[in-house]
Amino acid sequence: MSIAMNKPTTKTELLRAIRAERKKLEAALIGVSDADMVRSPRLGAWSIKDILAHVSAWDDTFVGWYEAGLKGGKVDKPNFSQAGVLSEVNRGIYETNKNRSLEDVLSGFKSSYERILKVVTSIPEEDIFARGKFAWTGTGKLVTYITSNTTLHYPGHLTMIEALKRKYGI
């Protein structure tokens, strides 16, 4: 199933799609040297390391939202419908992570994926697909938040990594 073409309708399909898209992202890293991971194509542009830190941050963001919501806490979710909010959040993620070591980012990339898989696996299927089940999702479905941070998020960053690899002749 291509998640870009079809939305998952079961937890099994969702987990399969998450794993498949992540596998593609991880496969793109094979053969990339540490030097190329941290190399920026131009001043201010994201390196592969920055892309991985970004992906990890969004994996962890979903987990944080979900766990805070379960505990009845306030879910600090920006209003993404406002112009420029997503860009501002992404800029903050970059600024927070730009000076982290490659080793730390790679470790975080692995552990954030493990966390999001563990959380999604633990959620009852009916809760994933129920409309308005969680106060913090409003009238939306949890699956929308899961896919926005995984199966719909990973491919765009895979494209960025592949473009950098082509640029670097990898």
Residues 6+ apart with CB under 8 A from 170: 31, 32, 36
Per-residue model confidence as pLDDT tens for the chain (170 residues): 444 446 899 999 999 999 999 999 999 999 999 999 999 988 778 999 999 999 999 999 999 999 999 998 788 888 888 899 899 999 999 999 999 999 999 999 999 999 999 999 999 999 999 999 999 999 999 999 999 999 999 999 999 999 999 999 99
46 part of a folded domain: yes
> Could you tell me if residue 4 is inside a domain?
no
Q: Domain range spanning residue 61?
A: 11-168
CATH number where 136 lies:
1.20.120.450
Q: What is the dihedral of CA 32, 37, 41, 42, to 10 degrees?
A: -170
6 within some domain: no
Q: How many domains does the chain have?
A: 1
Decide if 45 is inside a domain: yes
